């Protein structure tokens, strides 16, 4: 597991700060290892739209095409499909157990996307909650 490593990426909804890579006190990019690197890779994948990465134009998740949709069951189903497709294609280190989405309880125009996965090398089951903001309030 020590062979896995990834740059530490701060998602604004998760940490309350702007999105982007985090740095060490010395100013270098912070790197996470092991199971934390898998979680970071998933957050980066879900936060990246296809076409954003120059050398990997197909890498990413199609969530942003839903940004102006209402937070309803149809949009949640499309989000589940987009997340499931991206994780199966780009994250071979995990076995996807469950992807679910629905209106976020404390946010007027957002989906709460929940992902349960098993890390293939250790068998450990992990969960990730990802808040995706939409442009159309439902209330």
Q: Please indicate, yes or no, if residue 139 is contained in any of the structural domains.
A: no
Q: What is the CATH number of the domain that holds 84?
A: 3.10.450.40
SS (H, E, C) the chain: CCCCEEECEECHHHHCCCCEECECCCCCECEEECHHHHHHHHHHHHHCCCCCCCCCCCCCCHHHHHCCCECCHHHHHHHHHHHHHHHHHHCCCEEEEEEEEEECCCCCCEEEEEEEEEECCCCCEEEEEEEEECCECCC
| Residues contacting 137, CB < 8 A, separation 6+ | 70, 71, 108, 109
Q: Please indicate, yes or no, if residue 23 is contained in any of the structural domains.
A: yes
Cα–Cα distance between 56 and 58 in angstroms, integer? 6
Task: List the domain range (segments joined by +) for residue 24.
Answer: 5-133
Please state the domain count of the chain.
1
Better-scored residue on pLDDT, 7 or 93: 93
Confidence of residue 16 (pLDDT cuts 50, 70, 90): very low
Predicted TM-score of the model (pTM): 0.81
Single out the residue of 111, 124, 101, 97 nearest to residue 38, CA to CA. 124
Determine the pLDDT at residue 107.
Answer: 83
Confidence of residue 19 (pLDDT cuts 50, 70, 90): low
Q: Please indicate, yes or no, if residue 26 is contained in any of the structural domains.
A: yes
Q: Please indicate, yes or no, if residue 138 is contained in any of the structural domains.
A: no
> For 38-68, what is each residue's pLDDT tens digit?
998 999 899 999 999 889 999 999 999 999 9
Q: Please indicate, yes or no, if residue 44 is contained in any of the structural domains.
A: yes
Q: Please indicate, yes or no, if residue 127 is contained in any of the structural domains.
A: yes
Determine the pLDDT at residue 5.
Answer: 66
Determine the pLDDT at residue 7.
Answer: 64
Average pLDDT rounded to a whole number, residues 112-123 = 96
Better-scored residue on pLDDT, 65 or 8: 65
**Residue 34, token pair as written in the block:** 């092991």
């Amino acid at each position: 597991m020590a062979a896995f490593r990834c740059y530490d990426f701060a998602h604004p909804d998760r940490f309350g700060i702007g999105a982007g890579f985090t740095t060490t006190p010395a100013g270098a990019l912070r790197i996470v290892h092991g199971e934390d690197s898998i979680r970071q890779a998933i957050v980066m994948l879900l936060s990246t739209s296809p076409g954003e990465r120059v050398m990997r134009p197909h890498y990413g998740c199609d969530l942003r095409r839903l940004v102006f949709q209402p937070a309803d069951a149809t949009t949640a189903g499309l989000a589940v499909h987009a997340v499931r497709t991206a994780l199966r294609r780009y994250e071979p280190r995990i076995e996807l157990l469950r992807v679910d989405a629905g209106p976020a309880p404390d946010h007027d125009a957002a989906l709460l996307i929940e992902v349960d996965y098993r890390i293939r090398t250790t068998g450990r089951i992990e969960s990730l909650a990802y808040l995706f903001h939409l442009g159309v309030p439902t209330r």
